[in-house]
Chains A and B, each alone.
Chain A
Amino acid sequence: MSNCEDCEQWMQPYMDRALTEAERFDAERHLNECSYCRKRYRFEEHLRQFVRQAVVEPMPAELKQKLASLRTPLQ
């Protein structure tokens, strides 16, 4: 592997830590050598963090109380 076209195939599994050790080795070698793919890799990483933070909506306090009230009463 390890050209820029393959890169698109392994980029996501690489970020998910789902590659085998040998595949990861090849992926990292390519990222070290290729600034084009490295830039895209960094973008994908930032994007994931951004998405994760952007969608957070804190749980309403009343809901927390409602959930606690569903507990089995102590006898």
Chain B
Amino acid sequence: MARVSETTRESDPRRLATDARDRVHFEEEALALSDQVYRVARHLVGSREEAEDLMQETYARAFRSWRSFTPGTNLRAWLLRILTNLNIDRGRRIQRTPDQQPLEEGDYFLYNKLEETNDGTTDEDRVVQRLSQNDVVSALSEVPHDFRDVVVLVDIGDFTYADAAQILDIPVGTVMSRLHRGRRILKRAMADSAVGSEH
């Protein structure tokens, strides 16, 4: 890019044309993924405004550094790697000390809680229906960042453990353990919000 002004050789216009075509192609692909990136970004931060700022910063940076993307690799993961790095750089993540971690329960805590207040219905479809969209959204926002990032990437963004590990720059084993705890914390929060708000 910096050498554009030095171009004198015949082949350079052709190279520039190829370059421009690759860049346009990259930008179009990145924009086509923006809905999916937003879907994840929205829950990595606390508010819609923050998510919108973060998306714009991410795309501005991605368009500037498009050459560092390796064609054929996972562009959605690459964009989310930029996004999570920017999110961390901006200090939007509040670090919690261990004693502030919310209580987690076993995997079946939510099921048991919902079933307890279920008027005898044990059909699992109906059990899930006792949760509202609000219960889920507010419960997710209560999960501390380290755990929430992993839950959002894997359960909402459909990333593999390996992709999530790469995006967050943590080992796969850490992804698995955070996912395990994060889901339990989420279920505990959903149970509190669904069952606790009824009475």
Name A's B-contacting residues (CB within 8 A): 8, 11-13, 16, 18, 39-40, 42-44, 46-48, 50-52, 54-60, 63-64, 66-68, 70-72, 74-75
Contact = CB atoms under 8 A, between A and B. Distances in A.
B179 interface: yes
B78 interface: no
Interface residues on B, range: 35 or more
A23 to B, nearest CB: 14
A63 B38 contact: yes
Contacts, number: 95
Contact of B43 (A13, A46, A55): A55
A22 B180 CA distance: 21
B155 A52 contact: yes
A12 to B, nearest CB: 6
A68 B161 CA distance: 31
A50 B128 contact: yes
Contacts of B106: 8
B69 interface: no
Contacts of A60: 48, 52
B60 to A, nearest CB: 5
28 contacts: A8-B107, A8-B108, A13-B176, A40-B108, A40-B124, A43-B127, A44-B107, A46-B127, A47-B110, A47-B187, A48-B155, A51-B136, A51-B140, A51-B155, A54-B137, A55-B136, A55-B137, A55-B140, A59-B55, A60-B48, A63-B55, A67-B56, A70-B56, A71-B27, A71-B31, A74-B20, A74-B24, A75-B20
